[in-house]
Chain A
Amino acid sequence: MIAFLIKRLFHALLVMFVISVIAFAIQDNLGDPIQQMVGQSVPESEREVLREELGLNDPFLVQYFRFAVNAAQFDFGYSYIYNEPTTEVVLRHLPATLELVFASTLLIIFLSVPIGVYSAIKPRAWLSRFFMGVSIIGISIPVFLTAIVLIQLFAIGVSFTPFPADTGWGAWLNGLLSTEGGMPAYGRGDPVHVFGTWTTNFASLEGLTYLVLPAISLASIMLPLFIRLIRAEMLEVMQSEYVKFARAKGISMRRIYFLHALKNTMLPVITVGGVQIGTLVAYTILTETVFQWPGMGLMFLDAIERSDIPLIVTYLMIVGLIFVITNTLVDLIYGLVNPTVKLTGKPA
């Protein structure tokens, strides 16, 4: 166990090292940060002074070495646009992103498990077919579009009037097709402060309304995937010998489904799920941009647009770290659920 964790720590360091080298290597293609800092009529001589001050004229290795020495002391440099240490900037934006990811994860878990299990138990029911059909559509629509459609429907509202509105039934049908709007279209509102840089949207009903649309659109990518995954695994488990044996013994179907079969269904789902949480963090870039959600994704896009290289590097390294941590956790949980798995990979 300890050996495993130490090994993972080295993995994390290696991942962060590789990311930082790559990020540094491409920085010349990310644009000129000076251009973003000064007005258009500032003469070249002034720009040169600034460039020198920021050390942008030094050769690659010198710049990287300076960065690496500081990074070893947890100093990742100053953001050009926020004028603050980049770690502080990222930490300030982190809670918003984590809350969004957490809300989406909850949605995914509480929707995909029942739907997946149901459509595995009753594969021919029309409701199962309906879920499968919708999930195909869900997988193929980009997040960006989902988000904009959600805003149009539930924040702005739409009114369709294909039926005569002056008749009772027409007005009723029109009302059925139209939406009111009224959900917040952007931002986090006034989140409640918890401690440090952490403010939360979970503390009040109003805060939750801000979370609903972004969480749904973020969940829309993963939800169909998990429904299909759970359904497929469950179907397979239902065919296995021990389930047949349990049925032969006359154990109630409910007990078989939810105690014996579901446990084994969840094994691969946990593995995939852990990896996908990392991916979800990456997808927040799109969702946060559309909803102006003040998290890391929005910050990262802003940093790219304004060539804030230190911030870009720090973000990439932290996201790399999140990936390594979630993978480690998944492996640990997997070990708990399935004791036959040996973490260190050596024969016992």
Chain B
Amino acid sequence: MFKKTLLAGALGAAMLTAALPQTALAENTLRMAYDADPVSLDIHEQLSGGILQLSHMAFDPLVRWTKDFEFEPRLATEWEQVDDTTMRISLREGVTFHSGNPFTAEDVAWTVERLKRSPDFKAIFEPIETVNVVDEHTVEIISKRPNPLLLNMATYIFPMDSQFYSGETDGGKAKDEIVKNGNSYASRNISGTGPFQVTNRQQGVRVDFERFDDYWDSESPGNVDAITLTPIGENATRVAALLSGDVDFIAPVPPNDLERIESDEDTNLVTMSGTRIILFHMNQERVEAFQDPRVRQAFNYAINQEGIADRLMKGFATPAAQFSPEGYSGHNPDLEPRFDLDRAKELMAEAGYEDGFSVSMMAPNNRYVNDAKIAQAVAAMLARINVTVDLKTLPKAQYWGEYDDRAADMMMIGWHSDTEDSANFHQYLTECPDADSGGGQYNAGNYCNEELDQLMVDANLEVDLEKRGEMLRELEQGLYDDAAFIPLHWQNLAWASAANVDIEPVVNVMNFPYLGDLVINEE
């Protein structure tokens, strides 16, 4: 199944007598298919799954997440909180970029400065004031205020080769400029410290990677010498390519094909509970009834999350009653989905709406797994408390424009916290909407609770992580009691590979497989 260029004949025999390890003889090529390829080689151009997957292949972050949300040192070897706003980080020595330049503290400072200019990343890096270079392998990151999330941010700092990206191109343009729509130097040229070098790229067709010979992490078990990434947008084709042996690794795996792949003995399936919450907002500005917390609670009691997860999603989702998935500091284990139709009817009657009312609803039909079907199921469940739903589903390209206009009374959204932190959910989805600060940017419910907002602000200044977690759990409880929105589930993640490709250890809930550590076994 894998291309193996075995050195034949006398040469092979000579090498065997020299007792070289077996792996030196065989070349492992991983052929993989994602649903899309990275839009650019500039990792600061867009904050998206595809770009982060590329970042973890061609670059290394300062620290990275382990499977259970711990930090694992990568280019940072040690870190220490000097005072409330200063963190001192020691950097790994003896690391070189693909271009051959050595990796130093300058590169970290340069990268953070560039992140603060990127339209997509600047919001995340706003709390950082500056990065001071202490010596060649030490930096101090200075925050504007106490910053409990600095290490979370550090997972996004993939030091770039500052020498390589400095200066001007032949056309007289700065090599470090970040251009969303245009041909910038950084979008075509790449130099990182990561396990793989990009050797060839045809956008929308394929990207070729080769293992970087001078990669610093010599302890990594990874034995993949080359990777070919092909985007295959069509679900059925992606699965067919794996089953027919044309590719060795695919993601995502469509839920309808999970069983088929599981039962195939030549393939390997890995699934795990994800962190993307799918939910409905109830717009209080458009519908007066939603201003009554009893009505919002009644809607929550009327929805059978477990039914949706079991039957509609075929178990490919974890029913949710809050934003934070398990493992996040704000995950409140006391909160359970509260499906209870009688209670829902009671609450509607109490609020004076036993005869129900009608609402409009919108959902995308190609953004999340089964999104349109989920919306139909929710509409059907609401009919049982006499609420008539006028549902409209749209392709994602059109949906988000409608979402920004708050075009329906109930709107679906899925959200993954960029910082893997609970406060992020509240900040974007349920904070009081404020156009100036950008708070509640996706709060299509127009829900507003200043007490909870204050709780989030306080939590974001609390450096004692124990205490901070408690505050975030209280925040989740507050949103739950208030029935600020209708949580549905966390979408699961799935990857599949050929049986001899051991993907289980390298995939994670963030969905950036650490392919540098991937092991392909001998068949």
Contact = CB atoms under 8 A, between A and B. Distances in A.
Interface of A: 29-32, 35-46, 49-50, 53-54, 78, 80-84, 148, 151-152, 155-157, 181-187, 289-292, 294, 298-299, 301-302, 304-307
Given A36-B397, A44-B441, A299 B204 contact: yes
A83 B45 CA distance: 12
A31 B398 contact: yes
What secondary structure prevails in chain B residues at the interface with A? Answer: loop
A294 B203 CA distance: 10
A148 B240 CA distance: 9
A304 B233 CA distance: 13
B123 A30 contact: no
Contacts of B206: 187
B474 interface: no
A41 B428 contact: yes
B438 A44 contact: yes
Contacts of B234: 289-290, 292
A59 to B, nearest CB: 18
B397 A32 contact: yes
Contacts of B357: none
Interface string B434-468: 01001001100000000000000000000000000
B215 to A, nearest CB: 27
B246 A185 contact: yes
A177 B120 CA distance: 55
B441 A184 contact: no
16 contacts: A35-B397, A37-B46, A38-B47, A39-B47, A40-B442, A46-B119, A50-B119, A82-B203, A83-B182, A84-B183, A185-B237, A186-B33, A290-B236, A290-B237, A291-B237, A302-B204
A298 B204 contact: yes
Nearest to B427: A41
Contacts of B180: 37-38, 50
Nearest to A84: B183
A32 B400 contact: yes
Given A50-B180, A298-B204, A41 B123 contact: yes
A169 B237 CA distance: 35
A178 to B, nearest CB: 15
A156 B246 CA distance: 10
B237 A83 contact: no
A40 B233 contact: no
B441 A186 contact: no
Given A185-B237, A185-B246, A41 B398 contact: no
Interface string B219-244: 00000000000111110110011011
B256 to A, nearest CB: 13
A155 B246 contact: yes
A16 B431 CA distance: 49
Given A50-B180, A54-B181, A292-B232, A38 B46 contact: yes
A42 B120 contact: yes
Contacts of B492: none
B236 A148 contact: yes
A179 B277 CA distance: 43
Contact of B244 (A45, A157, A302): A157
A299 B184 CA distance: 22
Contact of A78 (B182, B230, B398): B182
B21 interface: no
What is the size category of the interface that chain B forms with chain A?
35 or more
B397 A152 contact: no
Among A41, A49, A294, A305, the most chain B Cβ lie within 10 Å of the Cβ of A41
Nearest to B230: A187
Contacts of B179: 83
A36 B397 CA distance: 8
Contacts of B398: 29-31
B123 A35 contact: no
B244 A80 contact: no
Contacts of A81: 39, 203
Nearest to A54: B181
B40 interface: yes
Interface string B33-65: 100000110000011100000000000000000
Contact of B401 (A31, A187, A294): A31
Contact of B241 (A35, A54, A185): A185
Contact of A156 (B181, B232, B244): B244
B397 A31 contact: yes
A204 B342 CA distance: 69
B417 to A, nearest CB: 9
Given A38-B120, A44-B441, 15 more contacts: A40-B47, A40-B418, A40-B428, A42-B119, A42-B123, A83-B187, A156-B244, A184-B244, A186-B33, A187-B205, A187-B230, A290-B237, A292-B234, A294-B202, A302-B204
Contacts of A185: 237, 240-241, 244, 246
Contact of A152 (B47, B240, B424): B240
A40 B418 CA distance: 9
A46 B424 CA distance: 19
Contacts of A49: 119
Given A35-B400, A182-B244, A304-B397, A292 B40 contact: no
Contacts of A84: 183
Nearest to A302: B204
B246 A186 contact: yes
Given A80-B181, A156-B243, A186-B241, A41 B418 contact: yes
B95 interface: no
Contact of B181 (A44, A45, A83): A83
A25 B205 CA distance: 30
Given A30-B397, A78-B181, A290-B237, A186 B232 contact: yes
Contacts of A151: 236-237, 240, 244
A41 to B, nearest CB: 6
A276 to B, nearest CB: 25
B48 A186 contact: no
Contacts of A294: 202, 204-205
Nearest to B42: A83
A156 B395 contact: no
